[in-house]
Amino acid sequence: MRKHEAIGFHIMVVSPSGDMSMYYNICMLTAEYMYKMVNLAMEEEQVVKVVKFGGSSLASAEQFKKVGNIIHSDASRRYVVPSAPGKRNAKDTKVTDMLYYCYDLACKGKDFSEGLARIKARYQEIIDGLELNLCLEDQFAEIEQNFKNKVGRDYAASRGEYLNGIVMARYLGYPFVDAEDVIRFHDDGTLDEATTEKLLKDRLYNKEYAVIPGFYGAAADGKVKTFSRGGSDVTGSLVAAAVDADVYENWTDVSGVMIADPRLIKDPKAIHTITYRELRELAYMGATVLHEDAIFPVRTAGIPINIRNTNEPEDPGTMIVQTTCVKPEYTITGVAGKKGFVAINIEKAMMNSEIGFGRKVLQVFEDNGISFEHMPSGIDTMTILVHQDEFEQNEQKVITGIKHAVNPDHIELESDLALVAVVGRGMRETRGTSGRIFSALAHARVNVKMIDQGSSEWNIIIGVKNTDFEPAIKAIYDIFVTAEL
């Protein structure tokens, strides 16, 4: 007997007597309907969202209230990861920076009481604004003592998230789970992924709601350690993977990942849906939205990230997904770039038939601890693009090394280059994309120094002079976005 038949049978038993076959049919239909409703409700209930809020979203009581509204408006927002209070305005200082400053004073044996009082005042302002019955005196006394005992810079920085977590937990009425107990680092400061996953799963298993502060954790000996700056993103991602969330919402102060850097393009359009691969490419080229280590835990677990704006909660933001059939709005998904590269052009007749030529050249870079970015090559030429600041210190050693290794006819250096990446899954199937890019660059009087397109066709890298960097980005944005609007 299927489940709805059992429910129907039960209803039938308690029904008044009469035409049994009609009753039977009505009861079965009612039961089937009820069963579907119960199932739907259960499915809805099971949606789990992990929500991480950045520093600017929690910089003041007013911002906390916006966050409270966002959380309460969706019951599936069950696990909350807060950052430390960030800047309230352009001239303000982040609490994390205030903590670093105080701790550095403490290490020099100087008085840091004034700085600590300022940090205390920031939290008090939030507590008062939210009308919470909460006193952080004990926590501050402990922090002061630990600073005097110089327990560590990571400990110092982590207190911003720790205290904000306590405030957030009280404000929401959610249990507080100290990140020290659930995020585990190895002694060398790298994340112990396996232990972290187990600790998070064990601790959150029977917690319907929780606040877990971002940015820090502890080594096995209990010493507090942090991720690098912006690391609350990573905590959110780890929590999302551990609770098998349906989505990891990352709330910040912009409405998603932008097609181009807003410092170069005025009010650029936001990207609606982007794949992890595309984002990785844009992020590597300088687009900053997420801590780069935040991608891997959720990507492995197949959980999408939704970048949202705390100040514009109605905006859908950007969905970052493993794969999608959602067509990008424009031919390109995004354009980004970086300045400060140098090209080492190596020429040698018959290079193409000299087996091991490339390996020998790259060995020289490896021996000097320099990683290469791109390596376009011709029949008798090979170009290695590297970061200028890394290369400059070892320049002559590298040139001598190449001469010894492969005895080239000619080596030439070209410095002050920029790389521009045009990224988009939509470029794959679209004829004429590169034609449009290069004619736009030609119109903008930008000389193209290098082109590198992988066979995957969703990524074209263009080398230009540093001075042509901004015009190049603008020309590409205009031809694909402004012109397609």
Mark the segment that binds ligand ASP (CB under 6 A) among 35-43, 228-236, 307-315, 465-473. 228-236
Q: How far is the CB of 134 from ligand ASP (least distance, A)?
A: 21
What's the rounded Cα separation, in Å, for the pair 9 and 15? 10
Strands (E), 120-261: 184-185, 210-211, 216-219, 224-226, 247-252
Among 27, 31, 50, 84, binds ligand ASP (CB under 6 A): 84
Instruction: Select the residue whose beta carbon is closest to ligand ASP and give its number.
Output: 232
Q: How far is the CB of 213 from ligand ASP (least distance, A)?
A: 10
8 binds ligand ASP (CB under 6 A): no
The structure tokens listed for 138 are 């004990």
Q: How far is the CB of 286 from ligand ASP (least distance, A)?
A: 18
**DSSP code per residue over 409-470:** SEEEEEEEEEEEEEE-GGGTT-TTHHHHHHHHHHHTTPPP-EEEE-TTSSEEEEEEEGGGHH
3-state SS class at 308: strand
Nearer to ligand ASP, 167 or 402 (CB): 167
225 binds ligand ASP (CB under 6 A): no
96 binds ligand ASP (CB under 6 A): yes
The strand pairing partners of 273, in sequence order, are 319
Among 165, 217, 230, 401, binds ligand ASP (CB under 6 A): 230
How deeply is 77 buried, as exposed, middle or buried, from its count of CB atoms within 10 A (0-12, 13-18, 19+)?
buried
83 binds ligand ASP (CB under 6 A): yes
Question: Can you say how many angstroms the Cα of residue 302 is from the centroid of all Cα atoms in its chain?
Answer: 15
Q: How far is the CB of 259 from ligand ASP (least distance, A)?
A: 24
215 binds ligand ASP (CB under 6 A): yes
Nearer to ligand ASP, 103 or 215 (CB): 215
Nearer to ligand ASP, 154 or 470 (CB): 154
3-state SS class at 78: strand
Q: What string marks each residue from 43 to 62 as x (binds ligand ASP by CB under 6 A) or -?
A: ------------x-------
Q: How far is the CB of 149 from ligand ASP (least distance, A)?
A: 23
67 binds ligand ASP (CB under 6 A): no
What's the rounded Cα separation, in Å, for the pair 119 and 105? 14
85 binds ligand ASP (CB under 6 A): no
Among 4, 77, 94, 449, binds ligand ASP (CB under 6 A): 94
The structure tokens listed for 413 are 């250096």
Q: How far is the CB of 169 from ligand ASP (least distance, A)?
A: 17
Among 214, 337, 401, 463, binds ligand ASP (CB under 6 A): 214
Give me the residue label for tokens 């969202």.
49
Contact 386, 370 (CB under 8 A): yes
Nearer to ligand ASP, 160 or 304 (CB): 160
Q: How far is the CB of 457 from ligand ASP (least distance, A)?
A: 35
Nearer to ligand ASP, 214 or 256 (CB): 214
The strand pairing partners of 337, in sequence order, are 420
Contact 329, 272 (CB under 8 A): yes
Nearer to ligand ASP, 231 or 256 (CB): 231
Mark the segment that binds ligand ASP (CB under 6 A) among 226-234, 338-346, 400-408, 444-452. 226-234
Q: How far is the CB of 84 from ligand ASP (least distance, A)?
A: 4
Question: CA 338, 341, 346: angle at the middle one, nearest 5?
Answer: 145
255 binds ligand ASP (CB under 6 A): no
Q: Strands of 450-453's sheet, edge to edge?
A: 372-374, 381-387, 334-347, 410-423, 459-465, 450-453
119 binds ligand ASP (CB under 6 A): no
For residues 402-419, b (16+ Cβ closer than 10 Å) or e, as one string?
beebbebeeeeebeebbb
Q: What string marks each residue from 127 to 166 as x (binds ligand ASP by CB under 6 A) or -?
A: ---------------------------------x------
**DSSP code per residue over 343-358:** EEEEE-TTGGGSTTHH
Please give the size of the binding site for ligand ASP, defined by CB under 6 A: 12
Query: What is the amino acid identity at position 238?
Result: L
Mark the segment that binds ligand ASP (CB under 6 A) among 59-67, 129-137, 196-204, 229-237. 229-237
What's the rounded Cα separation, in Å, for the pair 230 and 55? 9
Looking only at the bridges linking them, the beta strands covering 410-423 and 372-374 are unpaired
**97: number of Cβ within 10 Å:** 16
Q: How far is the CB of 83 from ligand ASP (least distance, A)?
A: 4
Q: Which residues bind ligand ASP (CB under 6 A)?
A: 55, 83-84, 94, 96, 160, 214-215, 229-232
